[in-house]
C-alpha cells in the first residue's frame, strides 16, 4: 500500500468510525448469532493473491460488525464496562502507527518516560502514597500474578526463582469468597496450589471479614503453614463490595504477609477525593492494581500496577541477556523487568491523551455522574413493588432481582430471574449479566460507560420494568 493509498483508506475508516460511534445505539447490543455463524462465512483457506482493501473493508462491515457485541452501546449495562473514549481511540491509532516495541528505555525513550510520568500522575490523582511506583501491565489478572510471584520470591528470599520449590514450603494465600476468579487462576500459575488458597468469609455487605481472616492465618500458622499473601478487593466483581483494607493491612503486618489490593474496577473512583474512604489504609499495602481500561475511559489493555518496593519487583523479574544490555540501564526504567512479557505495547500514549483531554475535573465529573445514575437505579429498585435490592450500592453497580409477592421458593425465584435476563438480552435492546450472592440468582446493572447519560440509564431501567411485568414479576 502506498502512502497515498493508505491516506485514502484511512480516511474511509475514520468516517466509518465516526458514524459508528454516533449510531452504535441502533445495533442490537448482542448479535443474534449461533456458534459457528461467523466462521462459516470465512473461507477455509487464506487468499493466495492480494485482495483489495475495498473487499476487506466490505467483509468487515458485512461479516464482522453484525457478529459483534457492542460494548459501547448505550444500553450495555453488563459485566464491567470496557473503557473507551474518542481521545483513547486517537491515542491508540498513533501508537499503532508508530509500531514501536517498548520493552526497554532504548527501544523507545519517549514511551518509557511517558509511562513513568503517567504512572506518577495516576498515583497522585488516586491518592496513592508518593513512594509507590507504577507500571502498566496488560490486565489485572497479570498484575495479580506479578504480585503473587513477587510475594513468593520476597518471602523465599528469591530462592524459588533460583532452585525451584524444595517441597517444604507450605505457603498460604488468602482472599474473600467474593474475590475475582483471576486470584484462583494466578495462585495455580504461581505454583502455590489451589488447595492453599483460603477463601475467607464475608460480612453481610459481602466485604471480607477481618476477624475470619486473622483466625484463618493463626490456625494455618499453628499447622505449620506460612502466610504468604492476602489479596483484598476494593469493588468486587459481583457487587462492588469494599474490603476493609486498613484492618487487613494491619493483619498482614502482624503476620509478615504481602498485601495485594485488587481495585480493578473501583480504583478509578479514587480520582474523586470524597470516595477515598474506600482506600483508607492503602499506604500499608505492598501492591495495588486498577484498570483504567474498565472505568477510566481508556481502551483495553491498560492496567495500572503499583508497588511499594520496586526493587522486590525487579529482583523477581529481571533478566540480563547480553543482547539486551544498554549503557543507560542504571538510569532508566527498563519495564521488561517489571512484569512477564518482554515485548510491550506503547500503552501510555492513550492514557496521556485521555487524561489531558478530560482533565482531572472532567474525569471526576463523569465518575460522579455514573455513581448518581447507579444511585438512581437503586432508588427505582427500592421503590418499585416486586423488585428487591440484593446488595449495598456503594458506587454504580446495582444488584437486584424480581420478587413477586408471595413467591418465596428460592429455586422458583432463581428461575424467573434467569428467564428475565434471558428475555432482556435476547431482545437485542439491552445487555445485562447475572451473579450469585448468598447463592441467589441476582441481576447486575452497571451504569459506567463513558457516554452513559441519565436518559440512556432511564431507558435501560424502563426495559427492565417492561420485561419484568411481562414475565409476571416486577
Ligand X SMILES: *Cc1c(COP(=O)(O)O)cnc(C)c1O
* Least Cβ distance, residue 182 to ligand X (angstroms): 5
* Least Cβ distance, residue 162 to ligand X (angstroms): 29
Residue 434 found at the interface with ligand X (CB under 6 A): no
Rounded to whole angstroms, what are the CA distances from 53 to 5, 21, 45, 56, 157? 9, 22, 18, 5, 56
The partner residues of 440 in beta bridges, in order of sequence, read 437
* Least Cβ distance, residue 146 to ligand X (angstroms): 12
Residue 435 found at the interface with ligand X (CB under 6 A): no
* Nearer to ligand X (CB atom), residue 261 or residue 421: 261
Number of residues that bind ligand X (CB under 6 A): 14
Residue 237 found at the interface with ligand X (CB under 6 A): yes
d(CA 293, CA 351): 9
Residue 262 found at the interface with ligand X (CB under 6 A): yes
Strand pairing report for 303-307 and 133-137? antiparallel
* Nearer to ligand X (CB atom), residue 140 or residue 316: 140
Residue 131, CB-side half-sphere exposure with 13 Å CA sphere:
8
Residue 303 found at the interface with ligand X (CB under 6 A): yes
Residue 233 found at the interface with ligand X (CB under 6 A): yes
Peptide bond into 117 cis (omega under 30): no
From the list 68-76, 261-269, 313-321, 420-428, the region that binds ligand X by CB under 6 A is: 261-269
Residue 258 found at the interface with ligand X (CB under 6 A): no
Strand pairing report for 258-262 and 197-200? unpaired
d(CA 144, CA 182): 8
> Which one of residues 85, 133, 140, 435 is an interface residue with ligand X (CB under 6 A)?
140
From the list 136-144, 154-162, 185-193, 278-286, the region that binds ligand X by CB under 6 A is: 136-144
Contacts with ligand X, 187-226, as mask; x by CB under 6 A: ----------------------------------------
> Which one of residues 180, 347, 350, 401 is an interface residue with ligand X (CB under 6 A)?
180
* Nearer to ligand X (CB atom), residue 126 or residue 237: 237
Residue 287 found at the interface with ligand X (CB under 6 A): no
Residue 186 found at the interface with ligand X (CB under 6 A): no
Residue 299 found at the interface with ligand X (CB under 6 A): no
* Least Cβ distance, residue 143 to ligand X (angstroms): 8
Residue 239 found at the interface with ligand X (CB under 6 A): no
* Least Cβ distance, residue 221 to ligand X (angstroms): 27
* Nearer to ligand X (CB atom), residue 105 or residue 445: 445
> Which one of residues 84, 175, 202, 264 is an interface residue with ligand X (CB under 6 A)?
264
d(CA 15, CA 1): 20
From the list 19-27, 202-210, 244-252, 257-265, the region that binds ligand X by CB under 6 A is: 257-265
Contacts with ligand X, 13-32, as mask; x by CB under 6 A: --------------------
Contacts with ligand X, 67-96, as mask; x by CB under 6 A: -------------x----------------
SS (H, E, C) the chain: CCHHHHHHHHHHHHHHHHHHHHHHHHCCCCCCCCCCCCHHHCCCCCCCCCCCHHHHHHHHHHHHHHHCCCCCCCCECCCCCCCCCHHHHHHHHHHHHHCCCCCCHHHCHHHHHHHHHHHHHHHHHCCCCCCCEEEEECCHHHHHHHHHHHHHHHHCCCHHHHHCCCCCCCEEEEEECCCCHHHHHHHHHCCCCHHHEEEECECCCCCECHHHHHHHHHHHHHCCCEEEEEEEEECCCCCCCECCHHHHHHHHHHCCCEEEEECCCHHHHHHCHHHHHHHCCHHHCCEEEECHHHHCCCCCCCEEEEECCHHHHHHHHCCCCHHHCCCCCCCCCCHHHHCCCCCCCCCHHHHHHHHHHHHHHHHHHHHHHHHHHHHHHHHHHHHCCCEEECCCCCCCEEEEEECCCCCCCHHHHHHHHHHHHHHHHHCCCCECEEEEECCEEEEEEECCCCCCCHHHHHHHHHHHHHHHHHCCCC
C-alpha cell at 451: 457516554
> Which one of residues 291, 334, 364, 449 is an interface residue with ligand X (CB under 6 A)?
291
Residue 175 found at the interface with ligand X (CB under 6 A): no
Residue 232 found at the interface with ligand X (CB under 6 A): no
From the list 86-94, 135-143, 250-258, 321-329, the region that binds ligand X by CB under 6 A is: 135-143
Which residue in the block uniquely carries the three cell numbers 483471576?
A: 182
* Nearer to ligand X (CB atom), residue 155 or residue 180: 180
* Nearer to ligand X (CB atom), residue 294 or residue 403: 294
C-alpha cell at 324: 539486551
* Nearer to ligand X (CB atom), residue 138 or residue 286: 138
* Nearer to ligand X (CB atom), residue 237 or residue 364: 237
Residue 182 found at the interface with ligand X (CB under 6 A): yes
Residue 265 found at the interface with ligand X (CB under 6 A): yes
Q: Which residue ranges make up the site for ligand X (CB under 6 A)?
A: 80, 139-141, 180, 182, 233, 236-237, 262, 264-265, 291, 303
Amino acid at each position: 500500500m502506498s502512502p497515498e493509498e493508505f491516506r485514502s483508506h484511512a480516511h474511509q475508516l475514520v468516517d466509518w468510525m465516526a458514524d459508528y460511534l454516533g449510531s452504535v445505539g441502533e445495533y442490537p447490543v448482542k448479535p443474534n448469532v449461533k456458534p459457528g455463524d461467523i466462521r462459516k462465512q470465512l473461507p477455509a483457506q487464506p487468499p493466495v493473491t492480494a485482495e483489495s482493501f475495498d473487499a476487506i473493508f466490505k467483509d468487515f462491515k458485512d461479516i464482522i460488525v453484525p457478529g459483534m457485541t457492542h460494548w459501547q452501546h448505550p444500553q450495555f449495562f453488563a459485566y464491567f464496562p470496557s473503557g473507551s473514549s474518542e481521545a483513547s481511540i486517537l491515542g491508540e491509532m498513533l501508537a499503532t502507527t508508530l509500531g514501536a516495541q517498548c520493552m526497554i528505555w532504548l527501544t523507545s525513550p519517549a514511551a518509557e518516560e511517558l509511562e513513568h510520568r503517567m504512572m506518577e500522575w495516576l498515583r497522585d490523582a488516586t491518592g496513592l502514597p508518593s513512594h509507590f511506583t507504577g507500571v502498566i501491565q496488560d490486565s489485572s489478572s497479570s498484575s495479580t500474578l506479578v504480585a503473587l510471584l513477587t510475594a513468593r520470591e520476597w518471602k523465599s528470599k528469591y530462592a524459588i526463582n533460583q532452585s525451584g520449590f524444595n517441597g517444604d514450603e507450605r505457603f498460604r494465600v488468602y482472599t474473600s469468597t467474593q474475590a475475582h476468579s483471576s486470584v484462583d487462576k494466578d495462585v495455580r500459575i504461581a505454583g502455590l496450589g489451589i488447595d492453599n488458597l483460603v477463601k475467607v468469609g464475608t460480612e453481610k455487605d459481602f466485604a471480607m471479614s477481618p476477624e475470619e481472616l486473622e483466625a484463618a492465618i493463626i490456625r494455618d500458622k499453628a499447622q505449620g503453614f506460612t502466610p504468604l499473601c492476602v489479596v483484598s478487593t476494593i469493588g468486587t466483581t459481583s457487587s462492588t463490595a469494599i474490603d476493609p483494607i486498613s484492618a487487613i493491612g494491619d493483619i498482614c503486618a502482624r503476620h509478615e504477609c504481602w498485601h495485594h489490593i485488587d481495585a480493578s474496577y473501583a480504583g478509578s473512583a479514587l480520582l474523586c477525593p470524597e470516595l477515598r474512604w474506600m482506600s483508607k489504609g492503602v499506604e500499608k499495602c505492598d501492591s495495588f492494581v486498577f484498570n483504567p481500561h474498565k472505568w477510566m475511559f481508556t481502551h483495553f489493555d491498560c492496567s495500572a500496577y503499583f508497588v511499594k518496593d520496586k526493587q522486590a519487583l525487579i529482583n523477581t523479574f529481571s533478566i540480563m541477556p547480553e543482547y539486551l544490555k544498554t549503557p543507560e540501564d542504571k538510569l532508566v526504567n527498563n519495564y521488561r523487568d517489571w512484569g512477564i512479557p518482554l515485548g510491550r505495547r506503547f500503552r501510555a500514549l492513550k492514557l496521556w491523551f485521555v487524561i489531558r483531554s478530560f482533565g482531572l475535573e472532567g474525569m471526576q465529573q463523569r465518575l460522579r455522574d455514573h455513581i448518581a445514575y447507579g444511585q438512581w437505579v437503586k432508588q427505582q429498585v427500592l421503590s418499585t413493588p416486586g423488585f428487591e435490592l440484593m446488595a449495598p450500592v456503594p458506587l454504580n453497580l446495582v444488584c437486584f432481582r424480581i420478587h413477586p409477592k408471595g413467591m418465596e421458593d428460592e429455586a422458583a425465584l432463581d428461575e424467573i430471574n434467569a428467564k428475565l435476563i434471558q428475555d432482556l438480552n435476547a431482545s437485542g435492546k439491552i445487555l445485562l449479566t447475572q451473579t450469585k450472592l448468598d447463592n441467589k440468582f441476582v441481576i447486575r446493572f452497571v451504569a459506567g460507560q463513558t457516554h452513559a447519560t441519565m436518559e440512556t440509564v432511564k431507558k435501560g431501567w424502563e426495559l427492565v420494568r417492561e420485561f419484568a411485568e411481562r414475565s409476571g414479576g416486577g
